[in-house]
Structure 1
Amino acid sequence: MGFLYNMPNIEGWGIAIAVLFTLMAFNEFARTTRWGGISMFIVLPIILTIFIWPTTAAPGNEYGTGNWFNWVKTYSCLAGAIGFMAIRFIPGLSKNKYVLIFPAAILALNIFEACIRDFQVYSYGAWDGEIINQLWMMSGSWNIMNGIAGLLNIVAICGWAGIIISKDKSKDMIWPDMIWPWIIAYDFWNFAYTYNCISDHSFYAGVVLLLSCTIPAFFIKKGAWLQHRASTLALWIMFVMSVPQFADKIAPVPTTHDPKAFFIVSLVALLANVALVVYQFNKIRKHKLNPLKDEIFTDSKDYKLVIKENT
């Protein structure tokens, strides 16, 4: 990864692994206990909003956490985590077809916010790289490519009408139609977004954070990727808002600031999402499906496995 980052030493790798497993552990705590979710995503944010964030995320602070995007992202992530808990634990909500639009809508909103940010970074005209709002960034064609990749990823969101609640004790929000091609395309896009827009924070906010939800989705609780993503993202952004110096001074892993790296990362994200949309629309056309109502991947092995494990 030396092409992308000035890699950390052994101590730095230890910190990264500790962050990864801490996020996964708190995600499991919030997932498997109702009171854990309430304490993590309702009680804790209220305390932080009143007593901590007005100082650590004040506008214009030296770590860049005081910009509009950080604040909007924080509360939209928390809205997702809380909304998903409501769907999981309030009887009847998971049976309401209009309520099930919420997970897809909040996901699309979060992606769209990031697309706007990529386009905004391009508009800065920082072609050689510069510090803007206390964050180093470099404008380029990669911002446009990845903004388009994100919009394609939104287009490919499908199958929310098939969301169910698992029958086990944890009552997870299961989205069977969100299979691995979409998840991987999302990961490529989101990593490119962090690389483009919060470059020197992207090792944690991109690599580590994406692993913290992708690993559970593949190996711990399949079908619950969006729930894992909302929880780990909310946990991470609350931490960053509270300890903004972490990625800059405590455990920095800066990017190489190489334009070739930016271009390749966003090109991969764009190609992955083009491939996803083509694959998905071919299935829609072949089986004459309505992507706003029908599940698309019901014939896949992954879909069938998720249904078998959770019903």
Structure 2
Amino acid sequence: MSEPAARPAALPTPPALADAPVLAHVVRGGVVESAHRASVAVTAPDGSLEQAWGAADDPVFPRSSNKPVQAVAMLRAGLELPPPHLALASASHSGEAFHLDGVRAMLEGAGLTEADLQNTPDLPYDPQERDAWLAAGRAASPLAQNCSGKHAGMLAACRAAGWDPTTYLDPQHPLQRLMDATLADLAGEPVAATAVDGCGAPVMAVSLAGLARAFGRVAAADPGTDEGRVAEAVRAHPEMLGGTRRDVTALIRGTAGVVAKDGAESVYAVGLPDGRGIALKVADGGQRARPVILAAVLRRLGVASDAYARLEDAPVLGHGAPVGAVVAVGLDAGRA
């Protein structure tokens, strides 16, 4: 009988997770039922750390919050896309019909098809779209998966640069190396680690401060630059970045000049038009506290927005009726 495979050695828990302060309570019937730890970094227009809760310099995987930065790298590779498709290349889309039509158009414009997509097959992200997809008897597919816009953009960038599109997920592919360099450039620090994201593409780690710095630079960039083109596309077409029922779409639509992107494992990154950046990570990876904490940080920074009601809409239910809420706490104890 063969011996079982050895488990990898446990690594130390990063401070951004282990030592993060409690920044949200789950309240049921006036009683705190659960608590969420989170780390937040706020950077100034010059990129310096302005305020933090938890470990702002600890590397995290931004997951899909990296996508607008990755779209900048696609433009640096020579890709040309109309603004709606550039926003879709930055997206974790909901799988609505206009998203899927946009991905097909991006592929067709590069002389490619759905068969060229190498992202993980999945169902649409949005629950209503997922239910309709299943009711129609359709199986999981790369097209429906929320990262298909990014993958179509990566494939089209390979075509534009003359690189092999069949190996575009290899971390050593020229496109992935350019994405690494672009993230390091905008974050102002080297990439700390590279792993495989849920969609199969490389995912690169930077600190929360670096992620915030990158988003501040994208949001404040001149319109003619690659960063500025991504920012303008996202602002003009937030429904392509997220979807009809997504909080990230409501945030961009309701807040003048911002660039924002949500990410798996409860990451959120926001760039403000004055060059400030915000990045947060909820330690347990659960999504319910993510928009609530972000709304509290934005309010603390004095950001005017019509999206607060949407971000803070986090009821706790009992027998189908609201009996409490997820609420932000502890933001008075941040360090400057």
Q: Same fold (TM over 0.5)?
A: no
TM-score grouping bracket, smaller chain normalisation:
under 0.3
* Bigger helix fraction: 1
The normalised TM-score by structure 2 is 0.26
Q: Under a length normalisation based on structure 1, what TM-score does the superposition of the two structures give?
A: 0.27
